[in-house]
């Protein structure tokens, strides 16, 4: 980190400390992890995606408050970081369930029954695409090709990939989680 | 051993083991290529070997790898630091080849990165992985830590003057990050919009410094070229092009999968011998030879060899060489809609033809499938294939998106017209508001 940037970050922190929003909502462990990532790059802002993922892993999603603090930590304007956050399929700017179910809707999965898989998830969870179950356990989202087309249809539940998914397997996935 | 020599990329990938450990990798000559490069060759020697071997980029564009490296400023006056970046943002629908290499033989990629970074005198390398490859990221990080322990990475590699740091960057899911210059913006922590070229990354890449971006599979070839030699590598190809390649196929075939085969293997051999042919009750209608962004080919093209030039001559591109098969019970128009929805969603929105053109294409296709199409829609679609074609946008996303559309209009025109003829009332898109979205499940093939 250059001296200028250090100063800039320091100034921003002081500004933030006097504003209405609760600051220091980032945990020391999060700040440490973000700083470690930033150390691998020429500029701290290069760690923006990793920083968002570190915080999201802890909290499930990226709130405006989190966004603001991460931006300050990386020496970015909040709007600039929001431009990055909203760009990616896997950064959530709204609350999601404890487990996010991503079903692949790209060509090979679509051909081999992805819609049936989606329908079964919707039916079992009682939600539409993009919604979260009332108990806050599951969010169902579409995702593009997950890189396992030889095992289509493919579903990503949390971080784990499920192959050759049919309606029975949807049931097994959900029963195993609940 | 003979068999292994014909399949250098996958020789350590065995059905009975989750992945090749460092010991597994070393036992088949792992890191020998690195030893040869660092101890016996200069960086320019390495560049020459890879150029002479005839290795071409395996990420889709097929640019000769040695030539790509040769544009990097070399010597003491060259701007530093220089960077090598691995493109592991495999997100093209139909493509699943790099994941195999990353997850099952991570040290092969690590060795490829070190040798290639040495060839361009890079001091820092990044592996850019798509966010969904959690297992791949974990295995790469482990392999990198082991490589540091053995002094294959870090300061004074194998006792030489050469030093290299290697870091894994995991992304968060966006197809455009696979575009070389968009990837650089993503690595810098910015929105992943492509950059204007020139300047090319070799001159002004990451943080304005000389940078080479290579695909995962491309780099996995490099250790073997150094270890076994240029002549051996050239012998591997069956036709015009050199070396082996991972070929894949998905869709209604008996054995979807990946196979490492010589460049120039005929498509028929891949589909009929390795993939086992079509599933019972389905016939081959066409296929995308290199993933979602390539033009459809037909059964009449089955005897074309999988070579860059031969596939281009047939009217498509080898792309990632992972084929998507269109069977006779899947509607080609609905399949094209599915593909265009992907491209429309994944467009970064930077260039107008792509940002506005792709949703328009999607809307027209939806209308046609909903029985609201008109014959002149086909002209509008054809016009889009030109407006979104090469030369009108910063990157190749829009031209790639037009591949399946323009070829479908050529080969499956009767299917488009059949839907349009169902529009007996002559209702056009411009006269009524279509509020009901077309459901892909409503037509045959969409299930």
CATH code assigned at B268: 3.10.20.600
* Summary mean pLDDT of chain B: 94
List chain B residues with CB under 8 Å of A101: none
Lowest-pLDDT choice from A153-167, B210-224, B381-395, B413-427: B413-427
Same domain, B315 and B339: no
Same domain, B267 and B292: yes
Beta bridge partners of B250: B324
Predicted complex ipTM exceeds 0.95: no
Check CB contact under 8 Å for A107 and B342.
yes
Averaged over B163-191, what is the pLDDT? 97
**Model confidence over B353-386: pLDDT tens digits?**
999 999 999 999 999 999 999 999 999 999 999 9
Q: What is the pLDDT of residue B434?
A: 42
Same domain, B283 and B341: no
Q: What is the pLDDT of residue B262?
A: 97
Check CB contact under 8 Å for B94 and A53.
no
* Residue in B148, B168, B172 to test binding to A, most A beta-carbons within 10 Å: B172
Pairwise CA distance, residues B142 & B136, whole Å: 10
**Model confidence over B51-65: pLDDT tens digits?**
999 999 999 889 999
Lowest-pLDDT choice from B305-319, B324-338, B422-436: B422-436
Same domain, B273 and B420: no
Per-residue tens of pLDDT for chain A, all 178 residues:
466 666 666 665 555 554 444 445 899 999 999 999 999 999 999 999 999 999 999 999 999 999 999 999 999 999 999 999 999 999 999 999 999 999 999 999 999 999 999 999 999 999 999 999 999 999 999 999 999 999 999 999 999 999 999 999 999 999 988 7
Q: Which of B391, B442, B170 is nearest to A37 (CA)?
A: B170
User: What is the DSSP code string of A75-144?
Assistant: T--HHHHHHHHTT-TT--SS---SEEEEEE-SHHHHHTTHHHHHHHHHHHHT--TT-B-TTS-EEEEEES
**Model confidence over A116-136: pLDDT tens digits?**
999 999 999 999 999 999 999
Percent of chain B with pLDDT over 90: 92
Interface A-B, measured as beta-carbon pairs within 8 A, has a size of: 149
Q: What is the pLDDT of residue B447?
A: 36
Say if residues B253 and B278 touch (Cβ distance below 8 Å): yes
| Dihedral angle over CA of B132, B136, B138, B143, nearest 10 | -160
Query: With bands split at pLDDT 50, 70 and 90, how would you rate the model's confidence at B399?
Result: very high
Averaged over B406-429, what is the pLDDT? 86
Say if residues A128 and A122 touch (Cβ distance below 8 Å): yes
Task: Select from B236, B265, B286 the last residue of a domain.
Answer: B236
Same domain, B9 and B134: yes
Q: What is the pLDDT of residue A4?
A: 66
Same domain, B206 and B79: yes
Q: Pick B92's closest partner by Cβ from A116, A145, A151.
A: A145
pLDDT surpasses 50 at B11: yes
Domain hosting residue B306, numbered range: 244-327
Q: What is the pLDDT of residue A2?
A: 60
pLDDT surpasses 90 at B220: yes
Q: What is the pLDDT of residue A25?
A: 85
Q: Please tell me which residue of chain A has the smallest CA distance to B185.
A: A46
Q: What is the pLDDT of residue A177?
A: 81
Q: What is the pLDDT of residue B191?
A: 96
**Model confidence over B248-261: pLDDT tens digits?**
999 999 999 999 99
Task: Select from B281, B308, B327 the last residue of a domain.
Answer: B327
Give the CATH number of the domain where residue B389 resides: 1.20.1440.230
What H or E segment, with its residue span, contains residue B400? Answer: helix B397-411
Comparing B3 with A70, the larger pLDDT belongs to A70
pLDDT surpasses 90 at B445: no
Phi/psi for B212 (5° steps) reads -115, 135
Distance, C-alpha B342 to centroid of its chain: 16
Total-model pTM: 0.92
pLDDT surpasses 60 at B203: yes
User: Pairing relation of β-strands A99-104 and A138-143?
Assistant: parallel
List chain A residues with CB under 8 Å of B135: 161
Check CB contact under 8 Å for B94 and A105.
no
Q: What is the pLDDT of residue B446?
A: 38
Query: With bands split at pLDDT 50, 70 and 90, how would you rate the model's confidence at B308?
Result: very high
Check CB contact under 8 Å for B132 and A74.
no
Comparing B4 with B405, the larger pLDDT belongs to B405
Same domain, B362 and B314: no
Give the count of domains, chain B. 3
List chain B residues with CB under 8 Å of A105: 338
Residue A137, classified by CB atoms within 10 Å of its CB into exposed (0-12), middle (13-18) or buried (19+), is middle
Check CB contact under 8 Å for A52 and B132.
no
Give the CATH number of the domain where residue B126 resides: 3.40.50.11540
Residues in chain A: 178
Q: What is the pLDDT of residue B424?
A: 66
pLDDT surpasses 50 at B432: no
Nearest chain B CA: its distance from A117 CA (Å)? 10
If you ran DSSP here, which 8-state letter would residue B282 be given? -
Same domain, B138 and B174: yes
Same domain, B221 and B96: yes
Same domain, B314 and B354: no
Q: Please tell me which residue of chain B has the smallest CA distance to A53.
A: B172
Same domain, B93 and B184: yes
Check CB contact under 8 Å for B94 and A145.
yes
Give B125-170 as a 3 state SS string: EEEEECCCCHHHHHHHHHHHHHHHHCCCCECCHHHCCCCEEEEEEE
Same domain, B317 and B395: no
Task: Select from B293, B308, B327 the last residue of a domain.
Answer: B327
């Amino acid at each position: 980190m250059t001296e200028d940037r250090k100063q800039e970050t320091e100034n921003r922190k002081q500004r933030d400390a006097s504003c209405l929003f609760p600051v220091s909502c980032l945990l020391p462990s999060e700040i440490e992890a973000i700083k470690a990532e930033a150390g691998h790059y020429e500029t701290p802002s290069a760690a923006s995606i990793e920083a968002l993922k570190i915080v999201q892993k802890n909290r499930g999603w990226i709130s405006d408050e989190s966004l603001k603090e991460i931006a300050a930590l990386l020496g970015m304007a909040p709007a600039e970081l929001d431009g990055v956050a909203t760009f990616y399929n896997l950064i959530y700017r709204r609350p999601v369930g404890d487990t996010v179910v991503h079903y692949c809707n790209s060509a090979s999965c679509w051909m081999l029954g992805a819609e049936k898989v989606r329908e079964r998830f919707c039916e079992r969870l009682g939600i539409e695409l993009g919604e979260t179950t009332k108990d806050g356990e599951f969010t169902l989202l579409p995702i593009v090709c997950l890189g396992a087309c030889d095992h289509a249809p493919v579903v990503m539940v949390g971080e784990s990939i499920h192959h050759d998914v049919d309606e029975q397997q949807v049931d097994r996935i959900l029963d195993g989680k609940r | 051993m003979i068999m292994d020599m014909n399949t250098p990329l996958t020789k350590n990938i065995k059905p009975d083991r989750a992945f090749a450990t460092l010991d597994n990798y070393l036992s088949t000559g792992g890191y020998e290529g690195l030893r040869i490069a660092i101890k016996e060759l200069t960086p320019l020697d390495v560049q020459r070997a890879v150029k002479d071997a005839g290795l071409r980029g395996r990420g889709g564009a097929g640019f000769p790898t040695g030539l790509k490296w040769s544009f990097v400023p070399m010597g003491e006056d060259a701007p530093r630091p220089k960077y090598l970046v691995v493109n592991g943002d495999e997100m093209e629908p139909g493509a699943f080849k790099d994941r195999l290499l990353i997850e099952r033989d991570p040290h092969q990629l690590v060795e490829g990165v070190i040798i290639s970074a040495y060839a361009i005198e890079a001091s820092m390398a990044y592996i850019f992985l798509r966010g969904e490859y959690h297992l791949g990221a974990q295995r790469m990080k482990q392999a990198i830590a082991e490589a540091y322990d053995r002094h294959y990475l870090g300061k004074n590699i194998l006792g030489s003057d050469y030093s290299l740091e290697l870091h894994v960057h995991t992304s968060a899911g966006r197809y455009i990050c696979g575009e070389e210059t968009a990837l650089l913006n993503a690595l810098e922590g910015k929105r992943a919009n492509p950059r204007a070229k020139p300047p090319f990354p070799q001159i002004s890449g990451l943080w304005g410094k000389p940078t080479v971006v290579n695909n995962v599979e491309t780099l996995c070839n490099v250790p073997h070229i150094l270890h076994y030699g240029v002549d051996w590598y050239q012998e591997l190809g069956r036709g015009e092009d050199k070396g082996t390649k991972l070929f894949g196929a998905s869709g209604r075939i008996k054995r979807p999968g990946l196979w490492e085969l010589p460049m120039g293997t005929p498509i028929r051999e891949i589909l009929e011998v390795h993939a086992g042919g079509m599933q019972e009750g389905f016939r081959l209608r066409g296929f995308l030879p290199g993933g979602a962004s390539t033009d459809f080919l037909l059964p009449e093209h089955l005897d074309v060899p999988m070579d860059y030039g031969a596939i281009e001559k047939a009217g498509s591109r080898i792309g990632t060489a992972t084929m998507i098969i269109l069977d006779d019970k899947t509607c080609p128009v609905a399949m094209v809609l599915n593909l265009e929805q992907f491209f429309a969603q994944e467009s970064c929105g930077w260039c107008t033809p792509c940002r506005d053109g792709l949703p328009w294409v999607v809307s027209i296709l939806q209308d046609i499938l909903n029985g609201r199409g008109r014959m002149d829609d086909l002209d509008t679609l054809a016009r889009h294939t030109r407006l979104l074609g090469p030369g009108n946008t910063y990157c190749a996303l829009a031209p790639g998106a037009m591949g399946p559309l323009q070829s479908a209009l050529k080969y499956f025109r009767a299917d488009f017209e059949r839907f349009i003829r169902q529009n007996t009332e002559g209702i056009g898109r411009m006269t009524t508001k279509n509020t009901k979205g077309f459901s892909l499940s409503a037509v045959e093939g969409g299930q």
